[in-house]
Amino acid sequence: MTKKQYILTGIGVVVGLIAGYAYYHYVGCASGTCAITSKPLNSTLYGGLMGGLLFNMFVTSPKKKEK
């Protein structure tokens, strides 16, 4: 991966971390039995993973030159 690809994926992770914590804070889980949203750490890490995967979809690999 190139530096640009790492940066784009890293931005996706950061955006996902923020979105995951925001989801926990504003929506959360009232009963406390939800696997992902019952704890802020779980929700934040899950958001970071999903953000990284989402932004990684837009990364293009450089084409190989033919001789």
The residues spanned by each domain of the chain are 31-56
Using a 10 angstrom Cβ sphere, with 0-12 exposed, 13-18 middle and 19 or more buried, the burial of residue 24 is: buried
Residue 17 has pLDDT above 90, yes or no: yes
Q: Is the C-alpha dihedral spanning 29, 35, 38, 43 positive or negative?
A: negative
Contact 59, 1 (CB under 8 A): yes
In this predicted model, what pLDDT tens digit does every residue of 31-64 receive, in sequence order?
878 888 888 999 999 999 999 999 999 888 777 7
pTM, two decimals, is 0.82
Confidence of residue 4 (pLDDT cuts 50, 70, 90): confident
Instruction: Supply 67's token pair.
Output: 């001789």
What are φ and ψ of residue 46, in 5° steps?
-65, -40
